[in-house]
Amino acid sequence: MSTSPPGAGSRAIVGSRRTGRPWTSDALVNLPARVTSPLVELARRALLALLLLLAIVVLVWFDRGSYTDNHDGTVNLVDALYYATVTITTTGYGDITPITPHARILNAVIVAPLRILFLVLLVGTTLQVLANEGRRIFLDRRWRKHMRNHVVVVGYGTKGRSAVDTVVANGCNAAQIVVIDGRAGAVADANLRGYAAIEGDATRRDVLRRAEIIKAREVIITLDRDDSAILVTLTVRQLNPSAHVVVAVREEDNASLLRQSGANAVITSSEAVGRLLGLSATSPNLGTVIEDLLSSREGMEVGERQVTPAEVGLSPGQVEDEAVIAVVRNRTLRRFYDPTVARLETGDQVVVVRHAIDTGDRS
């Protein structure tokens, strides 16, 4: 039996009796999901339930001669409404009953299904709406209460996904990553990969606050527009002066503006790609090495770690199995050839080139 792959909601596969082979219709459209508030949804369902009730009232009223009331023997409009109410809610006191065969048949084939539909519509779906919304609110509040020292990624395009994959590959817990993107597809993609995500415009303070930006440790901004990146950086820095902010910028001329806006690190994406293209053209081997260093889970990779006790006193060139290219001492980056870091000390951190370890496909 053929099955459609996940996410292929627009494809219908039906077996043909004549040929015995499935035929596929690719013309079906994927309609966008309609999002309504819980109150609107409850009001709509209550209106449908009221229409079901009125249908039974009309049926009993026009056929009132086929019913008897234990009180006075006749059925009026109030009695019809009363009978419809106690019947559709399955209360059934029995004081008003159908007495003719056709009235009992109508109750069996019309009133009984309407009663079941009423219960499913009003009771079942109402509880479902309330339970789902309540559960979502509860989980949201619990998440906000425990979320701190996390990583907020603004923009989940190609750069944002690569940044998140790199952060996770270097030991960050996926539960400590929050993605902000204005596209519903990007938010769904982030959720499928196991990350919390918020759909909205990151230039708005309320959206950043929903991501608990005030308690974030790291903020990575990878937007397509430099002006939006500058505005987000200014807002993030105002809400969280201590966070480490890394921003991707398209044009080098805007890099200084981002640094003045509070970015700790600015990566010029277009210039970096252009340099890599130029190096690959003039020196293919050098371009291959740099591309290898930038890729993850294969070949070589660049990492940062703490100096081990066994390495204290050694020179950067004496570290085994890894090539030390820089030393971080007192929060200052020093190249491996700097004479002040000729010997490694306790508390130093080293930036190394090492063999990449394949951690598997995280997507």
Q: What does the pLDDT read at residue 18?
A: 45
Do 161 and 137 reside in the same domain of the chain?
no
Do 122 and 169 reside in the same domain of the chain?
no
Q: Of 125, 192, 206, 129, nearest to 156 (Cα)?
A: 192
Do 164 and 268 reside in the same domain of the chain?
yes
From residue 113, give the alpha-carbon distance in Å to each of 60, 146, 235: 15, 48, 57
Residue 120 falls inside a structural domain: yes
Domain boundary among 93, 111, 143: 143
Residue 47 falls inside a structural domain: yes
The single residue listed with the structure tokens 């930006």 is 213
Domain boundary among 122, 143, 164: 143
- Cα–Cα distance measured from residue 216 to residue 201, given in angstroms and rounded to the nearest whole number: 18
- Cα–Cα distance measured from residue 79 to residue 90, given in angstroms and rounded to the nearest whole number: 16
197 and 190 in contact (C-beta within 8 Å)?
yes
Residue 192 falls inside a structural domain: yes
Q: What does the pLDDT read at residue 360?
A: 45
Q: How far from the centroid of its chain's Cα atoms is residue 337's Cα?
A: 45
> CATH number of the domain that 359 lies in?
3.30.70.1450
Do 196 and 250 reside in the same domain of the chain?
yes
Domains: count for the chain = 3
306 and 322 in contact (C-beta within 8 Å)?
no
Residue 31 falls inside a structural domain: no
- Cα–Cα distance measured from residue 67 to residue 90, given in angstroms and rounded to the nearest whole number: 18
pTM: 0.56
Q: What does the pLDDT read at residue 244?
A: 92
Q: What does the pLDDT read at residue 141?
A: 78
Do 156 and 103 reside in the same domain of the chain?
no
What are the φ/ψ torsions at residue 52 (nearest 5 degrees)? Answer: -60, -40
Residue 358 falls inside a structural domain: yes
> CATH number of the domain that 221 lies in?
3.40.50.720
Do 155 and 106 reside in the same domain of the chain?
no
Q: Of 148, 88, 79, 86, nearest to 116 (Cα)?
A: 88
250 and 269 in contact (C-beta within 8 Å)?
yes
Supply 148's token pair: 């701190």
Do 103 and 57 reside in the same domain of the chain?
yes
Do 152 and 252 reside in the same domain of the chain?
yes
Q: What does the pLDDT read at residue 34?
A: 56
Stated length of the chain = 363
Residue 14 falls inside a structural domain: no
Do 121 and 213 reside in the same domain of the chain?
no
- State the residue range of the domain holding 320: 300-363
Residue 78 falls inside a structural domain: yes
Q: Where are the alpha helices (DSSP H) in 2-155?
A: 38-62, 77-88, 101-106, 112-118, 125-146
- Cα–Cα distance measured from residue 349 to residue 305, given in angstroms and rounded to the nearest whole number: 6
Helix, strand, or coil here: 17? coil
Beta strands in the chain (DSSP E): 12-15, 22-25, 67-69, 96-98, 151-154, 177-181, 196-199, 218-221, 244-249, 265-268, 300-306, 323-329, 332-335, 349-355
pLDDT tens for the chain, 363 residues: list them.
Answer: 444 444 444 333 334 444 454 444 444 454 454 556 667 777 787 888 888 889 999 998 888 888 988 888 888 888 888 888 888 887 878 888 888 888 889 888 988 888 888 877 776 666 666 666 666 777 777 777 888 899 999 999 888 888 888 888 777 888 889 999 989 888 888 888 888 888 889 999 989 988 889 999 999 999 988 899 999 999 999 999 999 999 988 888 888 888 888 899 888 876 676 776 776 777 788 777 777 776 666 778 888 889 999 889 888 888 888 888 889 998 888 888 888 888 998 989 998 888 876 544 443
69 and 95 in contact (C-beta within 8 Å)?
yes
Helix, strand, or coil here: 263? coil
Q: What does the pLDDT read at residue 36?
A: 62
> CATH number of the domain that 86 lies in?
1.10.287.70
Do 195 and 106 reside in the same domain of the chain?
no
Do 189 and 230 reside in the same domain of the chain?
yes
The pairing of beta strand 22-25 with beta strand 12-15: antiparallel
Residue 290 falls inside a structural domain: no
Do 185 and 255 reside in the same domain of the chain?
yes
Domain boundary among 121, 143, 165: 143
Q: What does the pLDDT read at residue 44?
A: 80
